């Protein structure tokens, strides 16, 4: 006796048997039956076992069985020997095995891939460059669009004022409403247009072809379109003029559709005058509808030319939106994961040091020299940085644990991770889903009296790091303990005297380094790069193109001089933004976010953030990050604007201290709340 688990609906030839008399059960023909019930998988078919997770048509289906929740139907072996029954059961098993349990068991589960793939494609500087080029081309047609819009307005007014409705008797009106209202004219084909060119045009604008068929013209405002032909003079037209004439006939002429066969009896009862009135009503409403359709098409073309750039830019910016870790602020990153990976690889290893030297080298002066490796300050700064890196990795037991962040710091996702995250079910990471943005960081100590430090770069493997000037270290140590840093002392002295830093001095240095690490962990460099080298040049070029399009009547009168001057200004300004001001210091929000990240880094590294805030909160306000335009003496308007902007966006010491106090107060409140709940 055999028992088989079946799905609803039951086969028509099966009937229910007594379950008590048939206790044994078997599966369909299988190599091995599952010993336990299958565990439900996310986004997997409930009819599949764990052994059927393999992809493709040739996956193992030996363990596929037919289930009907907990209902068992027992069948005698005599029924199972029937070829028809076995064939039906085998077809049902194959149908069940055809489901794809991994990622999607049905087509609708793949729908999340559509927005995910669209966002992955749109988020790219190359896509933004292409959209900007398309938008600039469309903007160049703005004068033609303005003329077309003015013609459309004039055409609508002419239709409302001059194109009158023909008069008709009530009987003709009733017949038209019953049988002809809503009908559309018949478009003219190419061969019909050739025949009409050989016909004659009547005084009312109708064209009668050699076959006797009459084509009517749609109402056209005077001066809008001029007829390129005179019907009947086809032999006098050249080949190009003949092609143009045929296109003109196809655009503005139409045939009246035949009346419905059921209306012929009523139409025959009308007088000849009423029949002519019906034909006039039909021509009037059909031509009016076709004319309005042409106007609507023109409106759509103008609206598309204006709205397509806006729509494309909006789609790109929405795809580029993301939240900043820790704070949750929305920001724009207009770089694709592949472009981010390219930047990271280009700065990895010794390339980071070369990039920093090139960045600090100007036309007037070379980059500051490096501190010698024998200087004890290298060991102090590097040991402090590595301790902070260990705290970020979670290798140090924190003295003061910060509360969990609502928006934790996560690695930058690749495109593959973005697509796989849209379809849950992939639980086996390959290690290549994300770009590393954390430690180890590179370090560079430069001999410069300015008390400053800045972070630069993006990515792991040393592609990002921190640059510290010797003036900052001397300021932390104090004038009495700082080693001599003049040029002559560095020449005649082999090694500066070793000074043992105090705990407060180490805490002060850790506070500065943690702030710069916050910039790197929050990927502020990518945001700055996206805005100043991708976003603002595109906006500048588009704005100048719009200005040139709006003043086209002035350009038409004064010649191309103004147009060329504006084009040169736009090109020079965009290039100046990219070449000279591409590394402007971080913005107001960046500094406050880096301060919040620094508090967490200090706490996780075993430092006391409360003590750091109390002693050294105001020292961070003096750091100007990196400002290549500080030594720039050019008087270009772009340079002056960016200098004012860069200084205005750096927060004051009072504002930063208030933000730090608010963050620490929130930590204490969270800690008190958790203790009360426990």
Q: pLDDT tens digits, residue range 496-547?
A: 677 788 999 999 999 999 999 999 999 998 888 888 777 777 777 777 777 7
pLDDT bracket for residue 266 (50, 70, 90): very high
SS3 annotation, 461-523 = CCCEEEEEEHHHHHHHHCCCCCCCCCHHHHHHCCCCCCCCCCHHHHHHHHHHHHHHHHHHHCC
pTM attached to this predicted model:
0.64
Q: Quick check: is 672 in a domain?
A: yes
The CA distance from 599 to 614, in Å, is 12
The residue among 61, 60, 4 whose CA lies nearest residue 28 is 4
Backbone angles phi, psi at 413, to 5 degrees: -80, 150
> How many domains, in total, are found in the chain?
3
- Domain end residue (candidates: 487, 502, 517): 502
**376 and 491 assigned to the same domain:** yes
pLDDT bracket for residue 600 (50, 70, 90): very high
Which long-range CB contacts under 8 A does 375-382 form with residues at least 24 apart?
375/445, 375/483, 375/495, 375/496, 376/495, 376/496, 376/498, 376/499, 377/445, 377/470, 377/473, 377/483, 377/496, 378/445, 380/501, 380/506, 380/509, 381/443, 381/445, 381/468, 381/473, 381/509, 381/513, 382/443
- Domain end residue (candidates: 109, 144, 161): 109
**553 and 664 assigned to the same domain:** yes
**Does residue 174 carry a pLDDT above 70?**
yes
**538 and 447 assigned to the same domain:** no
The CA distance from 610 to 622, in Å, is 20
**475 and 549 assigned to the same domain:** no
**476 and 589 assigned to the same domain:** no
- 3-class secondary structure, 456: strand
Specify the pLDDT at position 74: 46
Q: Beta strand pairing status for 464-469 and 442-446?
A: parallel
**Does residue 31 carry a pLDDT above 80?**
no
Name the percent of the chain lying above pLDDT 70. Answer: 62
Q: Quick check: is 449 in a domain?
A: yes
Q: Quick check: is 197 in a domain?
A: no
Average pLDDT over residues 452-471: 91
**595 and 488 assigned to the same domain:** no
Lowest mean per-residue pLDDT among 173-187, 275-289, 567-581? 567-581
Q: Quick check: is 652 in a domain?
A: yes
CB 488 within 8 A of CB 388: no
Joined together, the tokens standing for residue 53 give 């997770």
Higher pLDDT, 323 or 549: 323
**Does residue 645 carry a pLDDT above 70?**
no
Specify the pLDDT at position 32: 38
Identify the bridge partners of residue 321 per DSSP, sorted by sequence position. 332
The CA distance from 519 to 593, in Å, is 8
pLDDT bracket for residue 235 (50, 70, 90): low
Higher pLDDT, 67 or 455: 455
**592 and 643 assigned to the same domain:** yes
Lowest mean per-residue pLDDT among 115-119, 229-233, 253-257? 229-233
Q: Exposed, middle or buried, 459 (CB in 10 Å: 0-12/13-18/19+)?
A: buried
What is the domain extent for residue 459? 356-422+430-502
Q: Quick check: is 337 in a domain?
A: no
Specify the pLDDT at position 271: 94
Residues with Cβ < 8 Å from 106, sequence gap 6 or more?
Answer: 99
The CA distance from 309 to 300, in Å, is 14
Higher pLDDT, 385 or 33: 385
Q: Rank 241-250, 481-490, 572-581 by mean pLDDT and report only the highest.
A: 241-250
Higher pLDDT, 545 or 668: 668
**Does residue 643 carry a pLDDT above 60?**
no
Residues with Cβ < 8 Å from 186, sequence gap 6 or more?
Answer: 254, 255, 256, 257
Average pLDDT over residues 302-316: 81
Question: Which residue has tokens 């794809």?
Answer: 100
Residues with Cβ < 8 Å from 144, sequence gap 6 or more?
Answer: none
Residues with Cβ < 8 Å from 671, sequence gap 6 or more?
Answer: 403
**Does residue 664 carry a pLDDT above 80?**
yes
**483 and 554 assigned to the same domain:** no
**360 and 489 assigned to the same domain:** yes
Specify the pLDDT at position 584: 45
**Tens of pLDDT, residues 355-410:** 999 989 988 889 999 999 889 999 999 999 999 999 988 888 887 788 888 888 87
Check residue 531 and report its DSSP letter.
I
The CA distance from 628 to 359, in Å, is 8
Cα of 407 vs its chain's centroid, Å: 21
Q: Rank 78-82, 278-282, 301-305 by mean pLDDT and report only the highest.
A: 278-282
**Does residue 105 carry a pLDDT above 60?**
no
Check residue 19 and report its DSSP letter.
G
Lowest mean per-residue pLDDT among 24-38, 233-247, 345-359? 24-38
Q: Quick check: is 441 in a domain?
A: yes
**483 and 566 assigned to the same domain:** no
In this structure, how many other beta carbons lie within 10 angstroms of the beta carbon of residue 516?
A: 27
Q: Quick check: is 262 in a domain?
A: no
| Cα three-residue angle 511-514-515, rounded to 5 degrees | 85
Specify the pLDDT at position 303: 80
Element (H, E) at 446: strand 442-446
Average pLDDT, the chain: 72
**498 and 530 assigned to the same domain:** no
Lowest mean per-residue pLDDT among 179-193, 472-486, 614-628? 614-628
**Does residue 288 carry a pLDDT above 80?**
yes
- Domain end residue (candidates: 87, 109, 131): 109
Q: Quick check: is 330 in a domain?
A: no
**537 and 672 assigned to the same domain:** yes
**Tens of pLDDT, residues 403-445:** 888 888 877 766 555 555 555 555 544 444 456 677 889 999 9
């Amino acid at each position: 006796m055999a028992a088989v688990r079946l799905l609803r609906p039951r086969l028509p030839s099966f009937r229910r048997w007594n379950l008590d008399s048939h206790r044994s059960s078997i599966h369909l023909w299988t190599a091995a039956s599952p010993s336990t019930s299958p565990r439900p998988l996310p986004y997997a078919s409930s009819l599949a076992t764990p052994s059927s997770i393999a992809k493709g048509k040739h996956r193992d289906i030996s363990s596929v069985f037919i289930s009907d929740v907990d209902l068992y139907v027992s069948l005698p072996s005599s029924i199972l020997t029937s070829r028809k029954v076995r064939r039906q059961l085998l077809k049902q098993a194959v149908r069940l095995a055809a489901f794809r349990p991994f990622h999607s068991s049905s087509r609708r589960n793949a729908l999340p891939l559509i927005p995910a793939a669209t966002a992955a494609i749109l988020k790219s500087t190359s896509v933004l460059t292409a959209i900007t080029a398309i938008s600039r081309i469309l903007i160049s047609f703005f004068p033609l669009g303005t003329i077309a819009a003015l013609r459309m307005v004039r055409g609508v007014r002419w239709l409302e004022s001059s194109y009158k409705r023909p008069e008709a008797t009530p009987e003709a009106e009733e017949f038209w409403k019953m049988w002809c209202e809503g009908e559309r004219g018949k478009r003219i084909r190419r061969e019909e247009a050739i025949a009409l060119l050989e016909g004659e045009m009547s005084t009312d604008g109708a064209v009668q072809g050699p076959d006797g068929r009459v084509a009517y013209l749609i109402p056209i405002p005077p001066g809008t379109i001029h007829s390129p032909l005179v019907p009947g003079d086809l032999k006098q037209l050249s080949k190009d003029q003949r092609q143009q004439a045929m296109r003109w006939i196809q655009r503005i002429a139409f045939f009246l559709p035949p009346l419905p066969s059921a209306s012929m009896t009523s139409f025959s009862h009308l007088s000849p005058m009423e029949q002519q009135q019906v034909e006039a009503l039909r021509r009037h409403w059909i031509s009016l509808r076709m004319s309005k359709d042409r106007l609507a098409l023109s409106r759509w073309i103008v609206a598309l030319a204006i709205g397509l750039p806006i729509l494309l830019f909006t789609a790109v910016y929405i795809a580029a939106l993301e939240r900043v870790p820790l704070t949750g602020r929305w920001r724009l990153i207009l770089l694709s994961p592949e472009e981010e990976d390219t930047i990271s690889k280009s700065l990895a290893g010794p390339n980071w040091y070369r990039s920093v030297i090139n960045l600090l080298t100007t036309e007037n002066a070379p980059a500051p020299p490096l501190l010698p490796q024998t200087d004890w300050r290298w060991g102090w700064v590097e040991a402090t940085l590595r301790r902070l890196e260990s705290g970020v990795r979670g290798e140090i037991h924190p003295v003061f644990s910060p509360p969990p962040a609502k928006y934790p710091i996560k690695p930058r996702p690749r495109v593959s991770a973005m697509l796989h995250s849209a379809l849950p079910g992939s639980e086996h990471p390959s290690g290549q889903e994300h770009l590393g943005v954390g430690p180890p960081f590179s370090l560079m100590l430069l001999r410069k009296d300015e008390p400053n430090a800045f972070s630069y770069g993006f990515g792991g493997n040393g592609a990002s790091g921190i640059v510290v000037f010797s003036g900052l270290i001397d300021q932390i140590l104090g004038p009495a303990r700082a080693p001599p840093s003049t040029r002559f002392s560095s020449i005649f002295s082999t090694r500066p005297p070793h000074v043992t830093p105090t705990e407060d001095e180490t805490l002060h240095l850790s506070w500065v380094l943690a702030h710069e690490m916050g910039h790197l962990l929050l990927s502020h460099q990518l945001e700055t790069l996206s805005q100043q080298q991708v976003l603002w040049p595109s906006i500048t070029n588009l704005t100048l193109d719009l200005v040139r399009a709006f003043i086209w009547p002035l350009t038409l009168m004064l010649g191309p001089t103004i147009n060329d001057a504006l084009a040169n200004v736009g090109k020079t300004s965009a290039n100046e933004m990219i070449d000279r001001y591409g590394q402007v210091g971080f913005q107001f929000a960046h500094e406050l976010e880096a301060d919040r990240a620094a508090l967490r880094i200090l706490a996780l590294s075993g430092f006391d953030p409360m003590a750091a805030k109390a002693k050294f909160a105001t020292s961070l306000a003096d750091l100007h990050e990196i400002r290549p335009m500080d030594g720039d003496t050019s008087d270009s308007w772009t340079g002056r604007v960016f200098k004012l902007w860069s200084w205005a966006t750096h927060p004051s010491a009072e504002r930063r201290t208030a933000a730090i106090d608010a963050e620490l107060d929130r930590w204490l409140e969270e800690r008190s709340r958790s203790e009360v709940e426990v």
